[in-house]
Amino acid sequence: MENRTPFGVMADGTPVEELTLRDGGMTCRIITYGGALRSLEVPDRNGDPVDVLLGMDTLEDYQTQDKFLGALVGRYANRIGGSRFILNGREYPLRANDGVNHLHGGPVGFDKQVWTVEEQTDNQAVLSLISPDGQEGYPGTLTVRVTYRMEDNALSIRYVAECDQDTLCNLTNHAYFNLSGHNSGPVSDQFIQIHAGHYTPTHPGSIPTGEIAPVEGTPMDLRQPQPIGAHVDDPFAQLEMAKGYDHNWVLDGADGTLRPAAKAWSKTSGIVMETLTTKPGIQFYSGNYLDGCPAGKDGAPYDYRWGFCLETQYFPDSPNHSNFPSAVLEKGAKYAHETVYRFTVED
């Protein structure tokens, strides 16, 4: 079975490939455009494969959609308010692509570039990217390597980066999950649990206020398992501004080691997904703006809340909030983080 096949050609002639990884009953497909996860088949409670990732069938559809489907995003995941930050006393303006704000690395972030395949085995692929000094406004030439590995019923994503100047670095993957199957409809009845007693409230535009607020007594309290739809439309200002969940949760006890961050599952398929990360935060997004997406794989009509994201990260806008964990990557230092999505089934 081929594990590396053509997936299209960019306007400048650069070929895009699809890589296939397999381990046990799991199969994962990745395209080199954006380093994007295109599909992830895992066994349901009956042992039948279910594709739990939203994705597209053609390169053109990936280039048309603006939802960051499955992509590796950087140089800075999430938002930077006012498209600016100060580092070592100097202000760096960034390219705005979300109103006046900078989102997921800018108009030509890592999600819109073709990654290089450094190596591939049956269950692992290593992709690399070089982001030159000044790209989208960031200082320094950043070299990135991302390793996708399937093992023991889990998909791990390991990020390593270095830069020749002090810079910002905050990498994540923007996979949209639907644990009942990518083509099964809204995720409102799927369960979510996040191991976080605090979150970062935002202003309109989803830029953090700087407060680290307790979830206690609010619809943001997801410490106990509940359906995604249970409180997503409650009359709560934070939810109303974002049309649902689209916030950063401050993970309990985060210390840089790999630890449980969230858990989600579908009673329909029995598929359970645990998310572990070394990062201090996680953005839970309930797919509030998926409407308007091109048709997905096999013509699936992806729509409002047909998928959810669990994006592990430094906090949004952290360079502009001194009380947030720092996303500064110093010259010569190594950025090294890991996120694991581990799958099991319930009876």
The Cα 39–Cα 70 span in angstroms is: 9
Task: Give residue 206's region: left, alpha or beta (phi > 0; psi -120 to 50).
Answer: left
Using CA atoms of 66, 72, 77, 82 in order, give the dihedral in degrees to the nearest 10: -40
Per the structure block, which two tokens stand in for 249? 């949760």
Element spanning 154, H or E: strand 154-163
pLDDT tens string, the chain, 347 residues long: the values are 579 999 999 999 999 999 999 999 999 999 999 999 999 999 999 999 999 999 999 999 999 999 999 999 999 999 999 999 999 999 999 999 999 999 999 999 999 999 999 999 999 999 999 999 999 999 999 999 999 999 999 999 999 999 999 999 999 999 999 999 999 999 999 999 999 999 999 999 999 999 999 999 999 999 999 999 999 999 999 999 999 999 999 999 999 999 999 999 999 999 999 999 999 999 999 999 999 899 999 999 999 999 999 999 999 999 999 999 999 999 999 999 999 999 999 97
Q: Is 24 helix (H, G, I), strand (E, B) or coil?
A: coil
Task: Give the per-residue pLDDT at 1.
Answer: 59
Secondary structure (DSSP) of 53-119: B---SSHHHHHH--S-TT-EE-SB-SEEGGGEEEETTEEEE----BTTBEETT-TT-GGGSBPEEEE
**Which has the closest alpha carbon to 38: 207, 120, 155, 119?**
155
Contacts of 31 by beta carbon, 8 Å cutoff, 6+ apart: 7, 16, 17, 18, 19, 38, 59, 62
Q: Which amino acid is at 189?
A: D
In Å, what is the CA distance from 186 to each residue of 50, 61, 171, 204, 266? 16, 21, 27, 25, 12
Domains of the chain by start residue, with CATH: 4-345 (2.70.98.10)
Sequence-ordered strand ranges (E) for 164-299: 167-168, 172-173, 191-194, 198-200, 213-214, 226-227, 246-250, 259-265, 271-277, 281-285
Burial of 71: CB neighbours in 10 Å, binned 0-12, 13-18, 19+: buried
Name 198's bridge partners: 214, 250
The Cα 262–Cα 251 span in angstroms is: 9
Would you say 285 and 279 are in contact if contact means Cβ atoms under 8 Å apart?
no
Per the structure block, which two tokens stand in for 121? 């085995």
Task: Give the per-residue pLDDT at 28.
Answer: 98
Residues 169, 153, 62, CA angle at the centre, nearest 5°?
Answer: 50
Would you say 87 and 166 are in contact if contact means Cβ atoms under 8 Å apart?
yes
Catalytic residues: 174, 311
Name 158's bridge partners: 147, 338
